[in-house]
Amino acid sequence: MAKKLIVVADDQPGVRRILAEVLSKDKYELMEAASGEEVIEIMQERRVDLVFLDVKMPRLDGVTALKKIVAQPKHPPVVMMTAQGQADLRQRVMSMGASAYLEKPFDMDAVLQLLEELTDELT
C-alpha cells in the first residue's frame, strides 16, 4: 500500500520541522512547502492526501491557497494553521472548505488525533 502524502506548508522552517517530526510515521510521506504557491505546485505534480496550511505566508497566503485547493475536484482535506487565533478567521476558513483549524502553539496529541481522523476518512 502506498504511503499517504502529507504536505506541511509554513514559512517558518521550525514549524515545518516540528510538524514533520511528529507526523513522520511509516505510513506517511511528508513534503514541506514554504508558501501556498509551493503547495499548489506540489499538487500539480503529485496526489496529495492531506495539507497542513499556514494562514500567513509570503507570495500566496494560506487563505488564497485554500480557495485554489478546494476549487479542485477531489481535493485533499486541508488543516489551516495560525498563530492569530481569531474566531472570525476560523469561521471564514471553515466555511471556505477547510477540514480543521489549529492554533499555534500546537497540542501535538491533538494534531496526531486529527491526523488519524482525517487520514482514516481517506481509506
Please give the domain boundaries of the chain with CATH numbers for all domains.
4-122 (3.40.50.2300)
pTM for the whole thing? 0.92
* DSSP assigned state of 73: T
The pLDDT score that the predictor gives to residue 72 is 94
CA–CA distance, 24 with 30 (Å, rounded to integer) = 7
**pLDDT per residue as tens digits for the range 65-78:** 999 999 999 999 99
**pLDDT per residue as tens digits for the range 49-62:** 999 999 999 889 99
Angle between helices 36-45 and 62-70 (to 10 degrees): 30
Strand order in the sheet with 78-82: 28-33, 4-9, 50-54, 78-82, 100-103
The pLDDT score that the predictor gives to residue 42 is 97
**Looking at the predicted structure, is the pLDDT value of residue 1 above 70?**
no
Q: How far is CA 7 from the centre of its chain?
A: 6
Q: Are the C-beta atoms of 1 and 44 separated by less than 8 Å?
A: no
**pLDDT per residue as tens digits for the range 17-40:** 999 888 877 678 999 999 999 999
